[in-house]
Amino acid sequence: MRILFLGDVVGRPGRHVVAEHLPRLRRDFALDFVVVNGENAAGGFGITEAIYEELLEAGADAVTLGNHAFDQREALVFIERAPRLVRPANFPKGTPGRGAALVEAQNGAQVLVVNMMGRSFMDPLDDPFAAIDRELEACPLGLAADAILIDFHAEATSEKQAFGHWCDGRASLVVGTHTHVPTADHRILPGGTAFQTDTGMCGAYDGVIGMDKEEPLRRFTRKIGASRFEPAAGPGTLAGLAVETDATGRAVAVAPVRIGGDLSPALPGFW
Ligand SMILES: [Fe+2]
Ligand SMILES: [Fe+2]
């Protein structure tokens, strides 16, 4: 399968760059499945139902979230009627929505999409390592799912790499999100799981992790907040990871994707 994962969409510049390029990427690369992290899509904070529909319209098969999942209160309600919207699986019992979704690809393949949050320098949540074991035992790769895509939303590079190794051989992809900066360590782990510590954001890089730089600079230098965080004006860069899997669901090729804005461009050479 040809799979594309796109990192945290931040505000309008992120939505624009996805809407501008994803339909063409989907067509030109004959993509079988696309996952987009949408936790910052609404003005940098959370997601609305209209934006969720927009991302599906642009070519996403599933949308994952993170610590900002419910910043827009309407998400607490519409997530129940949004079967392709996935929030962290280790949120407390009783949280609306789902932490994993088995989604049918256009070619009929069954793809398990899991969203999980790390705990280092983040809110205290259930153990993500135990939680992913439960998900993978309930829906094993090659038996119940043709591909398994895990968005590990975490701060610490160490926790993200440990989580990748923990899942190695049991998932097609473990990709980090949340830090909004792409790392250069994309690779296939020994067991056949594609991995990248963080895939970066789809958003404006001339800012501070997607936000206009003025307010973060004020808070770092003066310790006095003066206004709300607003997304940087753009232009946005599309940032993600391209993965090809074989009949067993293991990864056989992985490459970063970067288009537009301020980062050096990158496209997979194998498609
Ligand atoms: Fe984010
Ligand atoms: Fe986040």
| Per-residue pLDDT of the chain in tens (271 residues, 90 and over written 9) | 999 999 999 999 999 999 999 999 999 999 999 999 999 999 999 999 999 999 999 999 999 999 999 999 999 999 999 999 999 999 999 999 999 999 999 999 999 999 999 999 999 999 999 999 999 999 999 999 999 999 999 999 999 999 999 999 999 999 999 999 999 999 999 999 999 999 999 999 999 999 999 999 999 999 888 899 999 998 999 999 999 999 999 999 999 999 999 999 999 999 9
Contact present, 104 and 83 (Cβ < 8 Å): no
What is the CA(189)–ligand 2 centre distance, in A? 24
Q: Measured in angstroms, how far is the CA atom of residue 106 from the centroid of ligand 2?
A: 29
Which ligand places an atom closest to the C-alpha of 14? 1
Distance 89 CA to ligand 2 centre (A): 14
CA of 221 to the centre of ligand 2 (A): 23
Which of these is catalytic: 16, 68, 153, 186? Answer: 68
Provide the pLDDT for residue 79. 98
Element (H, E) at 117: strand 110-117
CA atoms within 13 A on the CB side of 147: 30
183 SS3 class: coil
For the stretch 168-199, what's the b/e string if a residue is b when 16 or more beta carbons lie within 10 angstroms of its beta carbon?
A: bebbbbbbbbbbbbbbeebebbeebbbbbbbb
Report how far ligand 1's centroid is from the alpha carbon of 247 (Å): 32
Which of 265, 261, 266, 200 has its CA nearest to residue 233?
261
Name 176's Cβ contacts closer than 8 Å, sequence gap at least 6: 152, 153, 154, 157, 160, 183, 196, 197, 198, 199
Ligand 1 centre from 128 Cα, in Å? 18
Is 178 a residue of the active site? no
Nearest ligand to the CA of 44 is 1
Which ligand is in closest contact with the Cα of 209? 1
Question: Model's pTM, two decimal places?
Answer: 0.98
What does the pLDDT read at residue 223? Answer: 83
Q: Which ligand is nearest to the CA of 123?
A: 2
| Rounded-to-integer distance, Cα 89 and Cα 67, Å | 11
- Around Cβ 28, how many Cβ atoms within 10 Å? 11
266 CA from centroid of ligand 2 (Å):
24
